[in-house]
Every structure is written in structure tokens, then in C-alpha cells.
Amino acid sequence: MKEKLISDGKRIDGRKAEEFRPIEMKLDIVSRANGSASFRFGNSVVVASVFGPRALTPRHLQKPDSCVLRCRYNMAPFSVDDRKNPGPDRRSKEISKVTRLALEPAIFLEEFPKATIDAYIEVLQADGSTRVTGINATSLALVDSGVPMKDLVTACSVGKIDDTLIVDLNGKEDNNSEADIAFAMMPSKDKITLLQMDGLLTKQEFLTAIKMAKSYCKKIYELQKKTLKEKYENVD
């Protein structure tokens, strides 16, 4: 018999439907990078490092009027239960692309023509929602590196299990959900930069899910702001 993922309003890890896993953020993880950060959603741990703006080679990739943002999402072989075959695959290429598209609207790319900003996103531990964890970490790393931005980008996931809408899916819920949404936004501008859905939802459910994602993103936003300010407020 299939294991029940929600019973008495509680999920398999004891959370309520609209409760998220413990969040932890750290800055300055990679000392050689211009900016770096780690972000943790429960058992999902991601380290993002940003290099640049720096000169872009080969030169045919340069854009004469804007900077090129390059993102690389990579899962460590030890990040999942079965060993992940190292190197880029179909899935990580797609996630690299959507991460880039989620972050591009927030950056003033036109200020650095012909240059590049490289963002390396390493998943050290994967337990669901890794793409949104990666976006959160990269956004912190970009601000830390001093790249001019319109706003931070904050991301979270929403899903549906047993006719209940839930936030921040873990690995097991991710695999068995009826639908899941990856969502990113610029909270203070109230603009959505990433919206992906897998599965089926009614229109009403979808609109409720977006509303949930937005309010949840704003909570993470406050934590991100606190982390960034603390770096400079606690000297010695």
C-alpha cells in the first residue's frame, strides 16, 4: 500500500501544510569568489559563488551592449541517495537556464558591456526544491559581490498532495506530488521571474498556490535582508 503523505494535517516530516523547513544562510563561503553564499532548506544545501563582472572569453560570446550572465547548476555525485553521474545532463542544463532567466531581470546587465558574470551553483545535498534553493543562494551571492541589482530574487516551491496545497516540498513529496510549482520573484517590486509547473491543478488551486508562494517568498526575503545586513553590522 502507498504510504500516506499527509495524515491529520501533518506531513511525513511532521510539518503543517504551510510550514517551511528550517532555513539557514551564510555568506563568504568561497574566499576567492567576488561573492558567495550558502542556502539551506532543511536537508537541501546549496553553495553559490559569483565571479565577476570579468572579461569574457572567447570573444565571440561577448555582447557589445550588455553583460552576459552565465549560470551553472551542478549536483555533487554524493548529493542524492543513488550516486549521481557527475557532469552536465539534460536536467541540470535546463535548471541552469531557468536560473539564469530568473535572475537576469533583476541585474543591471547593461552597466558592464562585453563582460560576464559567472554564477556557479553547487548542490551539496539534495532533498527537493533544489532549484529554488539555488536561486536564493545565487541572489545572495550576487548582492554580496556588489553587482548592481533592482532587487533581490527570492524563490520557493509550492505543491499539491492529497488535495492539500503545501509549501517547500521535500524530496519524497516532490516525487509523489500531484503538482509542484517552482516560483521566483522580486519581492519588493512584486514581479514574478520564474514560474514552472509540473502536474495538474484547477485554476482556483493555481491562483491560491501563487498567493501562498508570494507570501512565503516575502518571509524568506526578510531573512535574506537580515543575513546581508548582519555581515556588516557584526564586525569583530
Of 45 and 67, nearer to another protein (C-beta) is 67
Q: How far apart are CA 116 and CA 92, in angstroms?
A: 21
Q: Does 61 bind another protein (CB under 8 A)?
A: no
Report the nearest approach of another protein to the CB of residue 34 (Å): 7
Q: How far apart are CA 136 and CA 125, in angstroms?
A: 15
**Of 115-134, which residues contact another protein (CB under 8 A)?**
115
Q: Does 54 bind another protein (CB under 8 A)?
A: yes
Which region among 9-17, 126-134, 150-158, 212-220 touches another protein (by CB under 8 A)? Answer: 150-158
Mask for 65-84, x = binds another protein (CB under 8 A): x-------------------
Residue type, 26: K
Q: Does 189 bind another protein (CB under 8 A)?
A: yes
Q: Does 190 bind another protein (CB under 8 A)?
A: no
Q: How far apart are CA 232 and CA 63, in angstroms?
A: 34
Among 148, 176, 196, 197, binds another protein (CB under 8 A): 148
Neighbours of 107 (CB within 10 A): 21
Among 55, 61, 200, 207, binds another protein (CB under 8 A): 55
Q: Does 214 bind another protein (CB under 8 A)?
A: no
The DSSP result for 218-230, as a single string, is HHHHHHHHHHHHH
Q: Does 163 bind another protein (CB under 8 A)?
A: no
Cβ contact 122:76 at 8 Å? yes
Check residue 120 and give left, alpha or beta (phi > 0: left; psi -120 to 50: alpha): beta
What's the N-to-C CA distance of the chain in angstroms?
A: 56
Q: Does 88 bind another protein (CB under 8 A)?
A: no
Among 8, 81, 163, 236, binds another protein (CB under 8 A): 236
Residue type, 218: K
Which region among 75-83, 126-134, 149-157, 199-207 touches another protein (by CB under 8 A)? Answer: 149-157
Report the nearest approach of another protein to the CB of residue 200 (Å): 35
Strand pairing class (68-75; 115-125)? parallel
Map residue 116 onto helix, strand or coil. Answer: strand
Q: How far apart are CA 104 and CA 55, in angstroms?
A: 18
Q: Residue numbers of the site for another protein (CB under 8 A)?
A: 34-35, 52-55, 64-65, 106, 108, 111-115, 143-152, 186, 188-189, 225, 228-229, 232-233, 235-236
